[in-house]
A and B are shown apart, each in its own frame.
Chain A
């Protein structure tokens, strides 16, 4: 009896907290996305207020307007922002995988005594401020920056490359910032893998490369998917990287939302953007999670 009460308390405190500070805010975003814009503070007219009776709410629901959403789809700026975010996040994800997999593989094959140190070296940047790590690239990538100085000095180029304020810099920033998220899940699947599986494949007639593709790469799929999920999803909504490293031509939805909210004070459009972004992200989240569940099932 006492146990039941204490159990209930244990759940109730975080549960109520999350309901109030996580779920409720989303419902508010949705509500504002469905209201009309009017200037003032707060700059929106709610479609219905908390005191409305259900009958009134129902009445209003039936004449709901999706004006803000229609607006999003009528202006190519928003659609292009979504598409460009997805594209940038996808390309960055692939680039992160190309750098992250060899790193994770090399770590998993490192001498046993060295592995904890290597693991810590991957985690350490994750503890360092995201903003600082992005900022560090500005000095490297800009016109008179360190990279151009080095390349000019080496004689590889005659005129400085233009990297900062282009999408290239955004790719570099995302790959750099999210690399640990790719490396860690891949490393943990590779590290757990029984190395005698590769030896068995070699024993049964595989060359080293064939054994790598048929066994190692195949069994790392859950880790690769998890890594891709952890890079792709936050990268789509990224704000700091496109804002600091990208140029005026870099369209990303996080940045568009920020501008809409802080510069244009258009809360309703910002809310509509957030709602659509969430809908866009639900698809990859569910898809990835299903694929992962399938992979773990067959991988056991």
Chain B
């Protein structure tokens, strides 16, 4: 029932969101601080952004991160979708329990364990550490997140749609590509976005599996943060926050628009 949102409820929501957002807002504000001291406000300035774009090592790290992110998210989306299809559609196959366990375990697995174990794998097969190892590691843990996202959409998919396509002359593969995939596409896309941001965020697994010449942005930020808080880091963080927020907002606005169009169409029909 609406219309009875009590003061207690409103204040707990306001408090909760203040807690969630205040630190980020402060961080963004202080990225425009003139002073080198992050916590003392000395006037508005964008000089740290300028300095940031002159920092070649930072730009290199950003480039590595972007490439790792795009590649790993794309491969993880393909593999994760396949995993989701197997979990939902194929009710029995040998080792299903093991498979389900392997898909769900990385969701709660501490990063240090995943990172360490992957590193030891690469060492024991004599695989040189660098760009490719980080990418492989990111594919592995983000494919599980994609699988979960796609799976939750796939369970509500009406199987008779695919059967209808087959009845009308599609092969099973064609039916999947022409009917199922378009229907679950929003979930696949958000799975990709999730995989991309996970890769963009990851510090621990990248630190374990990366090698010389493949320093990612979080690794770079981390090593600088250890030396102390600087407005330059605030500036990098602000840019990252702006990018991610814009991405999420665009996606949700597109979703909302589609929902509104659907609602309008439904209204017009009735």
Contacts and interface: CB of A to CB of B under 8 A. Distances in A.
Q: Are any A and B Cβ atoms less than 8 Å apart in their complex?
A: yes
Interface of A: 2-3, 6-7, 10-11, 13-15, 17-19, 21-26, 28-29, 32, 42, 99-100, 102-103, 105-107, 109-112, 116, 118, 120-125, 127-133, 135-140, 142, 144-146, 149, 176, 179-180, 183, 195, 229-230, 233-234, 236-240, 244, 254, 257-258, 261-262, 267, 270-271, 274, 277-278, 281, 285
Interface in B35-88: 38-40, 79-80, 82-83, 85-86
Nearest to A102: B12
B16 interface: yes
Given A125-B21, A139-B39, A261-B116, A14 B86 contact: yes
Interface stretch (B178-186, B195-203, B261-269): B195-203
Contact of B39 (A26, A146, A240): A146
B26 interface: yes
B215 interface: no
Interface in B192-240: 197, 200-201, 203-204, 207-208, 218, 221-222, 225-226, 229, 233-234, 237, 240
B245 A128 contact: yes
Nearest to B17: A121
B13 interface: yes
Contact of B95 (A15, A42, A133, A281): A15
Given A239-B112, A254-B112, A11 B99 contact: yes
Contact of B80 (A3, A14, A254): A14
Contacts of B8: 102, 106
A258 B247 CA distance: 33
A244 B226 CA distance: 7
Given A133-B23, A239-B111, A10 B105 contact: no
A14 B143 contact: yes
Interface in B1-17: 1-6, 8-13, 15-17
Interface residues on B, range: 35 or more
Given A135-B225, A136-B27, A14 B2 contact: no
The DSSP consensus for interface residues of chain B is helix
A22 B110 contact: no
A218 to B, nearest CB: 19
B20 A14 contact: no
B112 A26 contact: no
A216 to B, nearest CB: 12
Given A99-B19, A244-B225, A23 B108 contact: no
A95 to B, nearest CB: 11
Interface of B: 1-6, 8-13, 15-17, 19-21, 23-24, 26-27, 30, 38-40, 79-80, 82-83, 85-86, 89-90, 93, 95, 98-99, 102-103, 105-106, 108-113, 116-118, 120-121, 123-124, 136-137, 139-140, 143, 147, 171-173, 197, 200-201, 203-204, 207-208, 218, 221-222, 225-226, 229, 233-234, 237, 240-241, 244-245, 247-248, 252, 256
A6 B86 CA distance: 11
A145 B23 CA distance: 12
Nearest to A199: B1
A72 to B, nearest CB: 15
B136 to A, nearest CB: 7
Contact of B110 (A6, A128, A140, A277): A277
A237 B225 contact: no
Contact of B117 (A26, A145, A195, A285): A26
A248 B3 CA distance: 51
Nearest 5 Cβ contacts at the A-B interface = A237-B110, A103-B16, A25-B117, A102-B12, A106-B9
A14 B237 CA distance: 34
B237 A136 contact: yes
Contact of B120 (A2, A29, A140, A240): A29
Contacts of B203: 130-131, 240
A10 B237 contact: no
Contact of B116 (A106, A118, A244, A274): A274
Given A10-B82, A21-B140, A271-B120, A131 B26 contact: no
A151 B249 CA distance: 35
15 contacts: A11-B99, A15-B86, A21-B140, A26-B117, A99-B16, A105-B9, A109-B4, A125-B21, A132-B241, A135-B221, A230-B108, A237-B113, A254-B110, A258-B112, A274-B117
Contacts of B24: 125, 128, 132-133, 136
A18 B221 CA distance: 30
A118 B252 CA distance: 13
B121 A28 contact: yes
A105 B8 CA distance: 10
B245 A29 contact: no
Contacts of B121: 21, 24-25, 28
Given A107-B13, A257-B112, 12 more contacts: A2-B172, A10-B82, A10-B86, A14-B82, A14-B86, A17-B79, A18-B140, A106-B13, A125-B24, A129-B201, A183-B16, A239-B110
